Amino acid sequence: MKEIVIATQNKHKTDEYKHMLEPLGYTVYTLDEFPDIGEIIEDGETFEANAYIKAKTLQDVLHKDIIADDSGLMVEALDGAPGVYSARYAGEDVTYEDNNRLLMNNMSGIRNRQAAFITVICLLEQGCEPRYFTGILHGNIATESRGDNGFGYDPIFCISDGRHLAELTMEEKNAISHRALATQQLIMHLRKST
């Protein structure tokens, strides 16, 4: 089995990645298996930069193939915010609900609710240049929160059929999500290279 490290401690991301990579024969590790690695500061100005920072930092320490991603929500009426600050939109050490509440407040009275989730995956294999895979899911910011599945902004992100991402099963979400779209590109690359 080939080993790969996913640069996350987020259980929801871990589950999504394992669900897609284990059928390809990968043993998937996460940062939880490497407790000595401290916090990685994501101070890039783009999703690509943040994904690379995480991948390079881990590869320098672990000497393994690394998958790192950076994701965010870009809202057209807010000039692309929250963008790379999506996880800490309402400040440091806040909950998903805090971020959602602030976004809903900032969208109050705004008619243009178009938004997109973006994921950029950086695959950094030992001895290779980084490869990037991008997935985008277009939708709208809802006026109310719905659903119990997913995480982050999923309860307030409405897809084209009117459902909120948090109303989808993991299988449904994995078929259309920004992370799934980027991961599908990654998987096609991994299949070609093995």
For 15-47, how does the pLDDT look when each residue is reduced to its tens digit (9 = 90+)? 878 888 888 888 999 988 998 888 888 899 999
152 is in an annotated binding site: yes
Residue of 43, 60, 69, 70 marked active site: 70
Residue-wise pLDDT for 53-85, tens only, equals 999 999 999 999 999 999 999 999 999 999 999
Q: Clarify whether 70 is annotated catalytic.
A: yes
- 164 marked ligand binding residue: no
Quote the tokens at residue 70: 């950076």
pTM over 0.85: yes
Residue 149 marked ligand-binding: no
The yes/no answer on whether domain 2-193 falls in CATH 3.90.950.10 is: yes
